[in-house]
Amino acid sequence: MNPLLQVRQHGQQIWLDNLSRTLLNDGHLARFVADDGVAGVTTNPAIFHKAIADGRYYEDDLAALKQQALSAEARYEALVIPDVQRACELLAPVHRDSDGNTGYVSLEVSPALAHDADGTVAAGLRLKAAVDRPNLLIKVPATAAGLVAIERLIAAGVSVNVTLMFSLAHCDAVAEAYLRGLAQLHAAGGKLAPVMSVASLFLSRVDTLVDKLLEERGGDLLALRGGTAVAMARLAYQAYQERFHGAGFEALAAAGARPQPMLWASTGTKNPAYSDLLYVEPLIGAETINTLPDATLAALRDHGRIAATLEEDVEQAAAHFSALAAAGIDMVGVGERLQQEGLAQFEQAFAGLLALTA
């Protein structure tokens, strides 16, 4: 059986971390959905920069848009919103048949708004209205301002993919923002069931940085290399289960609220010494999502070994984090540094996008 379909039997969704007009026009995305059970799509500025820079299907539309008195950002949105709408429509049956539990497409607000809560809320509401599809997720970074915006967007009934999470502290703060937003929406008489949120925890970059810190210290700590991100994800999943399947969530769940599933992001292995499925095979579990770049999706299809692994070795994961703390490695600080670096990368990609559409 196709390993991608086996994953689904364990309650995990596979989403594609890519979108382009080539994927849509040439039927690749439709085949991923039909043959591999791909149940969602995530995007970011880097993905759209590559799509527009390399994709032949954008040239005529971009040339026409450049004849109009529009800002570079407005031209960018005019190019990508139709792609997002098409992807939403392709996944609409998946969304409908799952009663809204899957079948989503993510579109990110401008990285320039990462520290602007009001601007993020305004952009999220505007993009939701522009795409006008029930299976859209507005992507918002887990910055301090982003957390304020997430709460307000959820309270306004907007579904949100929280991005650029790199630590357990980020996971806790994001979940609390989601819960506060749901409580406000419920208090205002709003419907909770149509609101979806996922919490995207980035993995490979954590190992890249922590491995470097371990190598600086040397000795027995070298044995911890390549294990931090998986340990973090397993601990995050334990916290998810306690939060969303415990007594504290019962009242909201009874009113129709959905849990906020963990989404494993940045799952392409960066260190060639590690398995190409390091961030896939050990993290298969119910009520989770793994969003895969094309190469990792192909690797999983080709040689993935599928089992329910996410709840294995939880005590070992906790011991791993204790060892990091004993070595003076501050995982909260690691998360903040990686978030800042991730924002800088998205800002650079977005600047490149606007240069293309200027």
196 φ/ψ angles, rounded to the nearest 5 degrees: -125, 145
Q: Which residues contact 188 (CB under 8 A, 6 or more apart)?
A: 155
**Of these residues, 50, 66, 139, 212, which one is catalytic?**
139
Chain-centroid distance of CA 143 in Å reads 14
Tokens at 159, concatenated: 């579904």
Nearest to 264 by CA among 280, 286, 241: 280
CA atoms within 13 A on the CB side of 74: 8
**Does an H or E element contain 243, and which?**
helix 228-244
Q: Is there a catalytic annotation at residue 50?
A: no
Q: Which residues contact 61 (CB under 8 A, 6 or more apart)?
A: 78, 79
Give the span between the Cα atoms of 161 and 158, in whole angstroms: 10
DSSP string, 67-115: TSS--HHHHHHHHHHHHHHHHHHHHHHHHHHTTTSS-EEEEEPPGGGTT
Q: What is the CA radius of gyration of the chain?
A: 20
Cα–Cα distances (Å) from 38 to 97, 120, 201, 204, 271, in that order, read 14, 29, 19, 21, 26
Give the span between the Cα atoms of 287 and 271, in whole angstroms: 28
Compute the C-alpha angle 202/107/206, nearest 5°: 10
Instruction: Tokens 């793994």: give the residue.
Output: 290
Dump strand ranges (E) for 235-322: 262-265, 288-292
Catalytic residues: 139
